[in-house]
Amino acid sequence: PGADIGIHRAWAFYGQIPDRRPVTVAMIDTGVDVNHPELTGSIWINEDEIPGDGIDNDDNGYVDDINGWDFYADSGCVFSGDEDEHGTHGAGTIAAAWDGQGTAGIADSRYVKVMVLKVLGTKDGKGVSSAVKRAISYAQDNGAQICNLSMGTTTYDKELEEIIRSSPMLFVVSAGNGDAAGQGYSIDDLPMYPAAYGAENIISVGSMLFDGSMDISSNYGSASVDLVAPGISILSPVPGGYAFMSGTSMAAPMVTGTAALVYSCRTDLDVMGVKQAILNSARPAESMAGRTVTQGVLDAYGAITYGK
């Protein structure tokens, strides 16, 4: 099976469950092309805000925050063009339309919506931790249950760790893509944050190859990386089309999408229950021994049927 995460079986199971609940996933990343045909129906809409009237209708401190906010440029416009490829790609993995065209996201965009919180700008994806903190607070205040953080830094930020730790949201975080030579290393020894924060409400994700083994460039850690998910040559929407992208930034949205799919139909589980379902159902892989907490690979079918 290699990199098969059992998504078709998971979708079949999902299709048989009558009760669904809406889910909001905060994409804290670059911006997202909210007008991409794959994503027009997948984007969170702030129903309490009137578009384009220049007034903060819902009194949340942000004017015209219809689909989220750009904390990089301090604007309600969450798409700036080609520099927003990374976030668009991740959003597509999570919730691209199930319309038989192009690609399909893991979660059902009829129920799962992506809140766009841009914290990274320029073509190099630069950002500051203060923007990430504000984005997390925004996500929480505006009803997101799950946060995708496909980013990392070696700089420890106590305040950021405490904001995450005290949040009711579930955070799915990329483990990072190795050193300058592209060689993955243990983030137990050389921490990459937020993946290495010890908070209970984080799922830290490494990247695996087509054969189910860990990608050489993926960071790992028997204490700090929970599991791996497909992260090589992932096809997803980007501004103006589609692209293949690779890395733990692509693996994390696989887990985020699975978490959203499970949370939307398993109304008996809270977000921490969803985390347990994902980790406890990870498919064991010999090559992960000593490299991840679960020593396993994402299994969407195992997660969605967990405890059933």
CB-based contacts of 58-67 (< 8 A; 24+ apart in sequence): 60/138, 60/141, 60/142, 62/138, 67/32, 67/34, 67/43, 67/115, 67/116
In our burial notation (b when 16+ CB lie closer than 10 A, e otherwise), range 207-229 reads bbbeebbbbebbbbbeebbbbbb
Name the residues annotated as catalytic: 29, 86, 249
What's the alpha-carbon Rg for the chain, to the nearest Å? Answer: 18
Phi, psi for 158 (deg, rounded to 5): -60, -40
C-alpha span between 135 and 255 (Å, rounded): 20
Q: At what angle do helices 248-265 and 271-280 cross, to 10 degrees?
A: 120
